[in-house]
């Protein structure tokens, strides 16, 4: 069994995908827009003008698949109660990932040495998605 995160960016999915490609090397495996759906959407399910929004995307981040969508495309993504964790191979990689993901976002805990890691930090990126960066000892 495998758990795969599915993130709803509420209208900012394409922007998020481009950001993650640049910041952490995410690779797009598949992307389908609402207008490309083989089945019609039920009336009222999507707001007018959202035919070019992302219905479904699949990203590879390292060895992990993360799925994403624009969802109802209302423009206010909310990511509460969880974070994604990146395991960096070195302190230098942790610094690079942390700096890239925190650009335009909010640092919640600066990268620092802890009793469980030579480098650990937490942030919310510019979409509000929570991230933890850790170098495993």
pLDDT digits (tens, 9 = 90+) for 57-82: 999 999 999 999 998 888 788 999 99
Q: Global pTM?
A: 0.92
Same fold? 6-69, 84-135: yes
CATH 3.30.720.110, applies to 84-135: yes
Cα separation of 75 and 84, whole Å? 21
Query: Which percentage of the chain shows pLDDT scores above 90?
Result: 80
CATH 3.30.720.100, applies to 6-69: yes
Cα separation of 16 and 21, whole Å? 9
Contact 76, 3 (CB under 8 A): no
């Amino acid at each position: 069994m495998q758990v795969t995160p599915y993130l709803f960016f509420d209208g900012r999915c394409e922007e998020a995908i481009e950001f993650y490609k640049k910041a952490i090397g995410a690779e797009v495996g598949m992307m389908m827009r609402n207008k490309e759906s083989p089945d019609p959407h039920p009336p009222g399910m999507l707001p007018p003008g959202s035919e070019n929004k992302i219905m479904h995307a699949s990203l590879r981040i390292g060895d992990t698949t993360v799925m994403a969508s624009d969802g109802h495309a209302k423009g206010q993504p909310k990511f509460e109660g969880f974070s994604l964790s990146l395991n960096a191979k070195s302190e230098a990689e942790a610094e690079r990932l942390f700096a890239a993901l925190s650009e335009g976002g909010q640092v919640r805990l600066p990268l620092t040495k802890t009793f469980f890691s030579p480098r650990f930090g937490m942030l919310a990126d510019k979409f509000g998605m929570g991230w933890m960066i850790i170098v495993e000892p």
